[in-house]
Amino acid sequence: MVAVASGASGCGHAAATDPLTGTTWQLTSIESMAPDEQPSTTIDDPAKYTVTFGDDGQAAFQVDCNRGSGTWKAEPAAADSGALNFGPVALTRMFCPQPSSDTRVAAALGQVRSYLVSGGQLHLSMEADSGVMHWRPAG
């Protein structure tokens, strides 16, 4: 197992009014705010990169060929947005067939600081304006 550290403890669970509890999302892209330093990434098969927000404060992840779990905590600021943190995410350490975005996605999860649900999509902003992870509903 490998732990992806986050700056916040992520303990606890989200308030009942957040739009994330009980939902599952597929990652479509990671938009970089500094493309000269880190290019944006388009996910070829979004079904390989998912997050499920459990109602018990636990999140389940699929990161290409690896599975994982961790805690999550949302603090809604409005009906569609607020602060979001994942606690340490423990992932299996299988070597995924290349090319794979598994390493980039795992690192990005530990940098998530807020969420916005807009147009049926979930947008997770990362710390220090380093980028935005874009997700679509699974299923």
The DSSP output letter for 63 is: E
Q: How does pLDDT run across 81-101, given as a tens digit for each residue?
A: 999 999 999 999 999 999 999
Strands (E), 34-130: 41-42, 49-53, 58-63, 66-78, 81-86, 89-91, 112-118, 121-126
Return the pLDDT at 38. 76
Return the pLDDT at 9. 40
Return the pLDDT at 15. 42
Task: Say what the pTM is.
Answer: 0.84
Low-confidence residues of the chain, pLDDT below 50?
1-16
What domains lie within the chain, and their CATH numbers? 2-137 (2.40.128.270)
Return the pLDDT at 128. 82
Judge whether 73 and 10 are in contact, CB under 8 Å: yes
Return the pLDDT at 1. 41
